[in-house]
């Protein structure tokens, strides 16, 4: 049982309409409940329920349809696992801040974003973490003083212009938006695979569909999570979106793992 399957189990225990679980934290993954008839690879005995949990390992999804930029390609090349976890490197908490750093570094070199001298700390891999990116992105002060303070603390830039701070805010916004929309596309893909992406047209009642999400990125980066939810609704369309719920499952993975262990204990016979 990994954290994603645990979140699915905990989600179903709390809400019987949960059909999938997604982890959006340092890493990312998804799991959902599939009917065994749709699993041609399965050769073992069929479960009594007729259903099977699919651990997607979607972080390793790769496709030429993914909108990879020069920054993504360079990040992947210099990573510890080049050629792997392509999707994860575009949407997870481990990498969002690093994508922002690489864009700011290009702007510092090519457009003197932070003055004539490129901050030496900006050259350091992963110096800008996603929690710092989130803090800058959520700065609502008129002069972005909190964002400026972060740039000073992290990059050692003592005096940044208001224009540089607004450009940094814009970069954070676009990287977060792209990551959130790509994550939402994955969620929509699961809902579509399960045939839950359309409202009934025969007058039958709507079937409620719930996706449980766990992970610090989704929980704490509010502008990210709100865009995930908005994009899922956008992809589904108004009619279908009214019956699809994307919700936080706090510590769903730990609770779900405990529930699965408890349910499995019924098979242990004590002599």
pLDDT at position 142: 96
Residues 170, 132: one domain? yes
Average pLDDT of span 142-154: 96
One domain for residues 78 and 154: yes
pLDDT by residue (tens digit) across 207-218?
Answer: 899 999 999 999
Of the residues 176, 194, 220, the one at which a domain ends: 176
Query: Does 190 score more than 90 pLDDT?
Result: yes
> Does 269 fall in a domain?
no
pTM of model > 0.95: no
Last residue of a domain, one of 176, 200, 226: 176
pLDDT for 265 equals 77
- Return the CA Rg of the chain: 21
Q: Which residue has the higher pLDDT, 269 or 39?
A: 39
Whether residue 113 sits in one domain with residue 164:
yes
Dihedral, CA of residue 209, residue 212, residue 218 and residue 223, to nearest 10: 20
Render pLDDT for 81-119 as a digit per residue (tens, 0 to 9). Answer: 999 999 999 999 999 999 999 999 999 999 999 999 999
**Distance (Å, whole) CA 251 – CA 264:** 20
Tokens of 122: 């900006």
CB-based contacts of 11: which residues, under 8 Å, 6+ apart?
18, 21, 210, 212, 249, 252, 256
Give the CATH number of the domain where residue 143 resides: 3.40.367.20
Report residue 58's pLDDT band, with 50, 70 and 90 as the boundaries.
Answer: very high
Query: From CA 36, how far away is CA 31, in angstroms rounded?
Result: 15
Q: Which domain covers residue 86, as residue numbers?
A: 70-176
Q: Are residues 49 and 90 in the same domain?
A: no
Residues 168 and 246 in one domain: no
User: Strand 209-214's sheet: what is its strand order?
Assistant: 51-55, 28-35, 18-24, 209-214, 244-248
Whether residue 172 is found in the same domain as residue 82: yes
Q: How far is CA 208 from the centre of its chain?
A: 22
pLDDT at position 264, please? 80
End-to-end CA distance of the chain: 27
Number of domains forming the structure of the chain = 2
Banded pLDDT at 270 (limits 50, 70, 90):
low
């Amino acid at each position: 049982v990994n954290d994603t399957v645990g979140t699915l189990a905990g989600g179903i225990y709390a809400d019987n309409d949960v059909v999938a679980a997604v982890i959006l934290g340092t890493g990312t993954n998804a799991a959902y409940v599939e009917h065994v008839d749709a699993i041609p690879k399965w050769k073992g005995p069929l479960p009594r329920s007729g259903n099977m949990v699919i651990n997607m390992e979607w972080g390793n999804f790769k496709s030429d349809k993914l909108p990879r930029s020069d920054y993504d390609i360079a990040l992947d090349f210099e990573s510890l696992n080049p050629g792997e976890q392509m999707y994860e490197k575009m949407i997870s908490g481990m990498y969002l801040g690093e994508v922002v750093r690489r864009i700011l570094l290009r702007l510092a070199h090519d457009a003197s974003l932070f003055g004539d001298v490129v901050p030496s700390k900006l050259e350091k891999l992963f110096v800008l973490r996603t929690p710092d990116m989130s803090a800058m992105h959520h700065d609502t002060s008129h002069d972005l003083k909190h964002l400026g303070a972060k740039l000073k603390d992290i990059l050692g830039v003592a005096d940044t212009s208001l224009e540089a701070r607004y450009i940094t805010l814009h970069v954070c916004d676009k990287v977060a938006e792209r990551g959130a929309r790509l994550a939402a596309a994955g969620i929509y893909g699961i809902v579509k695979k399960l045939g839950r992406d359309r409202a009934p047209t025969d007058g039958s009642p709507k079937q409620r569909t719930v996706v449980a999400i766990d992970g610090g990125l989704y929980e704490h980066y509010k502008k990210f999570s709100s865009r995930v939810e908005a994009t899922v609704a956008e992809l589904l369309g108004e009619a279908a979106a009214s019956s699809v719920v994307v919700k936080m499952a706090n510590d769903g993975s730990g609770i779900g793992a405990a529930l699965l262990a408890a349910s499995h204990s019924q098979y242990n016979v004590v002599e």
